[in-house]
A = this chain, B = another copy of it.
């Protein structure tokens, strides 16, 4: 299985929220200008137009954006911004855990403002749709496995891949 060829992340259409037994919907808290400034200051950095723009882009855009997309989103309004600034700030944000980096295959990294509630991803290998979910039972089991190995668990990455109902219908 070589995801680089199969998954076309540029096609992500929606980010459906799921509500059902065992899982709970992912809630994204509203973020405003003030919050962004706080985030920047918390990292001992200066509040600049560019940094605010990057955070806005992360917030307004699709949940999972590439550095390139952030650059273009900003460039539409404010043409004076460079790659380097975007990459540099995204990296800093990631290092401070304000942003979460997701990499799949050899594709460009995707970023999202770190959600308060942790969640994992379920990706359709046909159309690239990403669903977010959280499952407490799985997390508990992960903890148990780690403990059995004598590990203190710090984090995890769980990515499920499959064919979504739409794509199943389209084929069958």
Which residues from chain A sit less than 8 Å from chain B, CB to CB?
Answer: 1-2, 5, 16, 18, 20, 22-23, 91, 94-95, 97, 100-101, 103, 105-106, 109, 122, 124-125, 131, 133, 135, 137-138, 141-142, 144-146, 148-165, 168
Contacts and interface: CB of A to CB of B under 8 A. Distances in A.
Nearest to A164: B151
Nearest to A132: B149
Nearest to A91: B2
How many copies of this kind of chain does the complex include? 2
A55 to B, nearest CB: 18
A144 to B, nearest CB: 7
B122 A149 contact: yes
A160 B156 contact: yes
Contact of A161 (B95, B137, B155, B165): B155
Contact of A151 (B2, B22, B91, B162): B162
